[in-house]
């Protein structure tokens, strides 16, 4: 197993977080066009599902385009042997890397003894990582996790992970039980870096949680001695997040509406007949946030069922507001 593309990236490394039901390939393509991150991740996909007769239904979650590269497949599960088989599939599909999810706090995932539940069993976590590495061959294997399950145990948990030589560890700076209910414990990122340094490991340490801009991410990396940051929720309605030359609030409203339309069209091209158009509704609120008459526009968009309907709604909105939609959005 090698470090692959990771060794070639300039630090600090900025990552687009994998988010279930959000960061599908259509969304990642839009982000890549307007503010490409250093690394993209797929939505997390179940190893058990990919190792079953239902694999075909899950494969669209592993679709990607070359414009997203380097692109890493994120997988989750409970059984080491299923991780090994899934890793072999990811190699066949041409991914640049594989990321293991030991961080998802979802109750259904937890019941499967997957996601953050694995933190409770370090030996099983190590077996999973080693099985994935075996199946991955030369592909680099990384881990995304949390500070602990019920309590913060960064030192012990990161130490256990490092024994398996992962290429990188991304730490969501909260425990599983904290979900996202408390502020991120960024100081624990420095603890992870200290453990890594003491172990003489070359593993990269990335942070995650409550980061809203690449400027803030850069400052946190310097402050805590880590190599990069993974950004997630801040990407909603802001495909320019990773573009250092563009602030969302400076983007003319007309252009923001065009990106919304572009997202709808790409989604339709990729997923027509596979996913319901209603999946797109979760994005509309963030796209139109801060626009004049945003509430009315959002309400109309939330009732749309096709690209054509969205185009009509946006056209009517632009006609109604005239030149106002061509000006930069007001500063807040």
Q: Quick check: 231 and 217 in contact, CB under 8 A?
A: yes
Question: CB within 8 A of 75, min separation 6: which ones?
Answer: 44, 45, 46, 47, 50, 83, 86, 87, 90, 98, 99, 100, 101, 132
Q: Is 51 noted as a catalytic residue in this protein?
A: no
**How many other C-beta atoms are found inside a 10 Å radius of the C-beta of residue 183?**
11
Q: In 3D, which of 297, 317, 295, 315 has the Cα closest to residue 307?
A: 315
Q: Quick check: 73 and 44 in contact, CB under 8 A?
A: no
Backbone φ and ψ of 97, nearest 5°? -170, 170
Copy the structure tokens of residue 268. Answer: 């339709």
Catalytic-role residue among 40, 90, 104, 221 = 104
Gap between the Cα atoms of 31 and 238, Å rounded? 8
- Catalytic positions, please? 104
């Amino acid at each position: 197993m090698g470090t692959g593309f990771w060794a070639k990236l300039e630090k600090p490394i900025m990552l687009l977080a994998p988010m279930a039901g959000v960061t599908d390939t259509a969304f990642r393509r839009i982000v890549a066009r307007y503010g490409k991150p250093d690394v993209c991740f797929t939505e997390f996909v179940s190893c058990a599902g990919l190792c079953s007769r239902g694999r075909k239904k899950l494969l669209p979650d592993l679709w990607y385009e070359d414009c997203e590269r380097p692109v890493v497949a994120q997988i989750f599960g409970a059984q080491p042997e299923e991780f090994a088989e899934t890793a072999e599939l990811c190699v066949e599909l041409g991914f640049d890397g594989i990321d293991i999810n030991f961080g998802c706090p979802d109750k259904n995932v937890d019941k499967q003894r997957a996601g953050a539940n694995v933190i409770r069993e370090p030996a099983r976590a190590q077996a999973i990582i080693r099985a994935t590495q075996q199946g991955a061959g030369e592909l680099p294997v990384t881990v995304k996790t949390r500070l602990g399950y019920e309590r913060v145990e960064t030192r012990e948990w990161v130490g256990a992970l490092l024994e398996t030589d992962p290429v990188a560890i991304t730490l969501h700076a909260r425990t599983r039980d904290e979900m996202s209910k408390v502020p991120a414990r960024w100081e624990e990122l420095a603890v992870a870096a200290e453990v890594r340094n003491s172990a003489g490991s070359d593993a990269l340490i990335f942070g995650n949680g409550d980061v809203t801009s690449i400027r803030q991410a850069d400052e946190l990396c310097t402050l805590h001695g880590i190599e990069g940051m993974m950004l997630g929720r801040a990407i909603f309605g802001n495909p320019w997040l990773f573009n250092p030359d563009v602030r969302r609030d400076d983007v003319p409203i007309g252009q923001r509406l065009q990106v919304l339309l572009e997202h709808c069209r790409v989604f339709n091209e990729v997923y027509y007949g596979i996913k319901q158009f209603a999946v797109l509704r979760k994005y509309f609120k963030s796209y139109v946030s801060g626009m004049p008459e945003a509430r009315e526009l959002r309400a109309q968009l939330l009732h749309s069922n096709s690209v054509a309907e969205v185009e009509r709604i946006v056209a009517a909105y632009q006609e109604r507001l005239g030149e106002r939609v061509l000006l930069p959005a007001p500063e807040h």
